[in-house]
Structure 1
Amino acid sequence: MASAIRTESVGAGTEKQRGENLPRLLMVDDELAVLRFLRAALNTGEFRLYEAQNGHAALAAAAAVRPDIILQDLGLPDMDGVEVIKRIREWSQVPIIVLSVRDSDDDKVGALDAGADDYLIKPFSVAELQARIRVSLRRSLQQAPEPVYRCNELEVDLALRRVLLSGKEVQVTPTEYELLRLLVTHAGRVLTHSQILKQIWGVAYVEQQNVLRVNIRNLRQKIEPDPSRPFYITTEVGVGYRLRSE
């Protein structure tokens, strides 16, 4: 049975808004004691924390939360952590740090070959964990510079995760933002239905074109001057969608 995703509480007002802009960190471990330890170590105001206690919950959380980094245990009750890493790597390059009691070279190589970015053997120090997280986040940002997209009245600042239309901020859902972000990073190019579905929702959704159509329609309602005659997000009939280039 999948466990619920837990988020750390954030205060009201400005503090809450600041919390929503913090890096999202997903902790995956089936041992409550380990999760309590990680919460205590990382609940420093630098991250927004989420957790999952088995592989299926981890995959669901990775798709729903879009974490900026994942701490992944290998010994999960429903599937091996290496399998979780492989599945996430089918559609995401989020940094993944393995936290495991398995200390053999074969285990390390297997996890890293599956797509993990780093490997820490339990027990480990809080200082080392925090350092590894900083390095992984820094490397991720260096590898993926965040551009600003501008076209007519639409502006999307990927670094600030902000969407503006005629200078006014547009409120979009996390999924709508990730969809727009994918289109922005491929502006001017046609993205097929399956490419978008795989990147945003995962390989299990590659045939669910209705999910994509609904989100495109909702996004157009928010950014298009005339949603019935789209200017920014155009449809390539039978193929996919294209975001008008700058």
Structure 2
Amino acid sequence: MASSLRALLVEDTAVQRMVVSAMLRNQFHCEMTLAKNGKEAVDMFLEGNTFDIVFCDRDMPIMTGPEAVVKIRAMGATDVKIVGLSDDDNAMEAFISAGADDFVPKPVRPETLGPMIQEVINKKLEQSATLA
């Protein structure tokens, strides 16, 4: 059994948090951590938490998704895959220029997330094979 991925979902809307985290947990067996805004996410990285993949909403109070991505990358968290989420088509550019690896339009669908999660799992497996 492959080790489960540590996923961080940064989303200010409770319903979205519930739906997306349930999908990640149930369908992709991710170990879930939740944050309600970009500042909470940045604080988690500052506290030394590590994640394999981060899904980040764009428009949130206190700190937006792209602002959080810039800060997380500036801390040297370059190995983590960061995926922007938004129902705004113009958000993709904001996330990619902030340093995100990918973008998913809302509503989030399992068939969109599957390949991204598989990519992170494959990368982890390659790294552990290299270390072995």
C-alpha separation in 2, matches of 1:39 and 1:109 = 24
The amino acid that maps onto 1:96 is I
The amino acid that maps onto 2:42 is L
Which structure 2 residues correspond to residues 71-220 of structure 1 after superposition, within 5 A? 71-90=55-74, 91-93=76-78, 94-104=80-90, 107-135=91-119, 137-138=120-121, 140-141=123-124, 145-146=127-128, 147-148=130-131
TM-score, length of structure 2 as denominator length: 0.82
CA 1:84 to 1:30, structure 2 compared with 1: closer, same or farther past 3 Å? same
Higher Rg of the two aligned structures: 1
The amino acid that maps onto 2:106 is K
C-alpha separation in 1, matches of 2:114 and 2:124 = 17
**Structure 1: 5+ residue runs without aligned partners?**
1-17, 149-156, 158-246
Aligned-pair identity in percent equals: 26
CA contact (8 A) 2:37 2:64 kept: no
Higher helix share: 2
Q: Deviations over 1:109-129 (max 9, x none)?
A: 221121111111111322222
Which structure 2 residues correspond to residues 234-245 of structure 1 after superposition, within 5 A? none
**Higher RCO (CA-CA < 8 Å; seq separation 6+):** 2
**Structure 2: 5+ residue runs without aligned partners?**
none
TM-score, length of structure 1 as denominator length: 0.47
